[in-house]
Amino acid sequence: MIKISYFSNIRTLLHTTSAWHKFDLKTNNWKLIRIIGYLLGPLHRLVTSIGLIPIAVHRSLLEEENLLPTPPFPDPKKRPAPTCPLKFRSDDGFGTDVKNPTASMEGAPVGRNMPAVLKEMRNHRGGPDVQLVAQRLLARESFKPAGAQLNITAAAWIQAMVHDWIQHDDGAETSLDKGEKLCPLGKFKFFETKELPDGSYYSKRTQWWDASFVYGQNEEQVAASRGKGGKMKINESNNETLPSRPDGTDSTGDNSNSWVGVTVLQVIFLKEHNYVAEMIAKENPGMSDDDIFGYSRNIISALVAKIHTIDWTCELTNTQQLEIG
């Protein structure tokens, strides 16, 4: 019976038993899980195709059980909900999800994979201090080179993605000074993440994969980044840098808490957008500036997602299973 149920519907079986990390001790499923775990554990390291099974099961479980709904978020501009998928990326993320138009837009609550816990309950037993844990686990005791796999561009890329996805608002100022002298930051001040009354958090950035680190997070920022002919503005005096305001700050894209690594990527994708816009305009002489810009942004957004999922992530994890996936 085990073989019949296993081979006739492996996905249903593994989903029911929750595949290794979720046990229902009221039934005998846990025995079956152990059998499957022992069988697949060694084999997935030897046979790549079998190694894909736990990845697929884990992804399915996360999609269905590890995402909690966010609190309702009304559109501040009170725009009508779209009736069909958007033709182009919206400036602030509104309408990307047709059924839930305010989901993940600028200012919307951030999704969670576990229930919110009241602040006073998060460390109700006291200690160990978070700084001590971080320093014990993360502090390097010796140099460990990673240049054969990654370089500084990988760090710049993930911070650019953070600029694309999320930015919490600042709350009260606090400090950490309970760590050990394992790193130079023995004591430092910072701002806590601002919470909503229900214990959730919101993002000042759109949470969609929309290349907003290049274009901006809302209508005003996108408008300030746009030039003529569906292109983005460039720095006329030095096209290797972003256009700037009179005070010297960059006027294109999302530049909060930035550094040269993120700026380099912004310049690269700005130039790529303008190249794509030129090609579209050349092949479609009668197309409007708005359409040229919209199609170009769609292409750049897809390119960014492709680089992250197929190039950056696979190089970071460097497994055959993920390359196939």
Q: Are residues 104 and 45 in the same domain?
A: no
Pick the catalytic residue from 124, 163, 168, 308.
163
Query: Are 103 and 23 within one domain?
Result: no
190 DSSP β-pair partners: 174
- Both 248 and 316 in one domain: the answer is yes
What the block records as the tokens of 105 is 């837009």
Predicted confidence band of residue 262 (pLDDT cuts 50, 70, 90): very high
Residue 284 covered by a domain: yes
Q: Residue 249 and residue 47: Cα distance in Å, rounded?
A: 53
On whether both 36 and 103 belong to a single domain, the answer is no
Q: Does residue 224 form part of some domain?
A: yes
Answer whether residue 249 is part of any domain.
Answer: yes
Is 325 among the domain residues? yes
pTM summary value: 0.77
Q: Which of 65-79, 128-142, 221-235 has the lowest mean pLDDT?
A: 128-142
168 in catalytic set: no
Judge whether residue 265 has pLDDT over 90.
yes
Query: Do 213 and 324 lie in a common domain?
Result: yes
The tokens describing 231, both together, are: 């292109």
The domain in which residue 19 lies consists of 2-65
Task: For residues 160 and 292, state if they share a domain.
Answer: yes
- Final residue before a domain boundary, out of 65, 90, 120: 65
- Judge if 103 and 51 occupy the same domain: no
- Domain membership flag for residue 13: yes
Structure tokens at 55: 């990845």
- Identify whether residues 160 and 48 lie together within a single domain: no
One domain, residues 158 and 253: yes
Q: Which of 40-54, 159-173, 206-220 has the lowest mean pLDDT?
A: 40-54
Q: What is the pLDDT of residues 24-58, one digit of tens each?
A: 434 445 455 555 555 555 555 556 667 777 778 88
Domain assignment present for residue 287? The answer is yes
Residue 227 within a domain: yes
116 falls within a domain: no
Same domain, 43 and 157: no
Higher pLDDT among residues 200 and 217, named by residue: 217
pLDDT at 12 over 60: no
If asked whether residues 43 and 160 sit together in one domain, one would say no
Regarding whether 155 and 55 lie in a shared domain, the answer is: no
Looking at the structure of the chain, the number of domains it has is 2
